[in-house]
Amino acid sequence: MTSQSSQYPIFCASFNQDNSGFAISTKDGFKIFDSNTGRLCYERAVGAFVIVEMLYSTSLLAIVGAGEQPSLSPRRLCLFNTTTGIALRELNFLTSILAVRLNKKRIVVVLQEKVYIYDSNTLAILDTIDTVANTKGLCALSPCLDGCFLALPASTIKGSVLVYNVMELNSHCEIDAHRAPLAAIALSSNGMYIATASEQGTIIRVHLVSDATKSYSFRRGTYPSTIFSLSFGPSAQLPDILVATSSSGSIHVFSLGFAIHQRSRRSSSFLGSILPDSVNDVLDPAHHHVLHNAVPAGVKSYIVVRNVDKSSTEIEACRATLSVVTYDGYFLEYVVNVNNQNVSEWSLEREFNLLTAMSGEEQNFQFV
């Protein structure tokens, strides 16, 4: 996730594919952290970067400069080895790179009106996709190779999503998710589900990728708000939860398993059976847990679900660990417990300043 605004000390922030590590960039360089301990694993002070993407916990990084010096052009993608400190390969483009996504088989480079797909091992270009104007560089790539999908905006006037299979190199489907243009996209780790939010930010929808007509809707709030990030919980099948951060400073948790269980019960009822899906979808209860003032209002943030522990007796009950990076320079770890009555309790377990972190040392977390 990239910030083009100089109002933030952090230029970009990203978690790796299993959320075990994350990277940030400042005006001076970039840093790699361990999500579990907060240890600063690597740093390089060579100037500002707008993109720093990890490939799991390997030594490979995909980095793009902020353009503040000739060697750090925003049109150049550098594949960098943190062990040797050497650039393995550089790829140059005609326009600025807005996003890069990686998995073990594919590298995806997003420009404003074009997307390039490369083989991760040979760097051979496999396909190019002409897109609508994507000024924010919105995209999502699933790390799972069995359901390896890329999601991109398909319209500039409404919230349509193009889902592209990057292994088979063909368009899978197009989903009309919202009336307003998209603001955020996320794919589940297995590529089965896609979550979207529009620029209005009041409704978040989840679609099953294999069946673009079925969706589940969650109301974030009544008043418009910018959705900064969306993230599914880790799961081999149905993710247990979906989380979001917004410009209101709140963290939102949506209980997917509980909502879908309730939808199944409702659809078997008389009223649910006679209503069309478009109306039935509106009846979905929120199953929405919110923590207000979790981060400073208006400050950009990036959230992921690091872990979900489910109850052994009730499938809808869970304990989730959430990691948040705020662009004013902080890491926060929240735990939310959702009981079998769908009531939640929140706690801030720890936080630390990313800007003052010292290399090789575990952070002295502030326990709250």
pLDDT tens sequence across 107-146: 999 999 999 999 999 999 999 999 999 999 999 999 999 8
pLDDT of residue 271: 44
* Percent of the chain scoring above 70 in pLDDT: 85
Q: Is the pLDDT assigned to residue 25 strictly greater than 60?
A: yes
Question: d(Cα 116, Cα 125) in Å, to the nearest integer?
Answer: 7
- Structural domain 133-224, CATH architecture: Beta Barrel (2.40)
pLDDT of residue 84: 96
Q: Which burial class, exposed, middle or buried, applies to 298 when counting CB atoms under 10 A from its CB (0-12, 13-18, 19+)?
A: exposed
Answer for the pair 74, 63: CB distance below 8 angstroms, yes or no. no
Q: Is 62 helix (H, G, I), strand (E, B) or coil?
A: strand
- Name the pLDDT band for 219 (thresholds 50, 70, 90): confident
pTM of the model: 0.90
pLDDT, tens digit (0-9, with 9 covering 90-100), for 306-345: 999 876 555 457 889 999 999 999 999 999 998 877 788 9
Question: d(Cα 139, Cα 218) in Å, to the nearest integer?
Answer: 21
Answer for the pair 156, 199: CB distance below 8 angstroms, yes or no. no
Cβ atoms within 10 Å, residue 169: 12
Q: Which burial class, exposed, middle or buried, applies to 59 when counting CB atoms under 10 A from its CB (0-12, 13-18, 19+)?
A: middle
- Name the pLDDT band for 72 (thresholds 50, 70, 90): very high
Q: Is the pLDDT assigned to residue 280 strictly greater than 60?
A: no
CATH code, 8-97:
2.40.10.480
Q: How would you classify residue 97: left for phi > 0, otherwise alpha for psi between -120 and 50, otherwise beta?
A: beta
Answer for the pair 67, 87: CB distance below 8 angstroms, yes or no. no
Q: Identify the DSSP state of 328.
A: T
Question: d(Cα 101, Cα 26) in Å, to the nearest integer?
Answer: 20
Type of residue found at 25: S
Largest CA distance in the chain: 67
Question: d(Cα 225, Cα 243) in Å, to the nearest integer?
Answer: 15
Q: Give the strand order in the sheet containing 125-130.
A: 99-102, 106-110, 114-119, 125-130
- Name the pLDDT band for 5 (thresholds 50, 70, 90): very low
Is the torsion defined by CA of 37, 40, 42, 48 positive or negative? positive
Q: Is 259 helix (H, G, I), strand (E, B) or coil?
A: helix
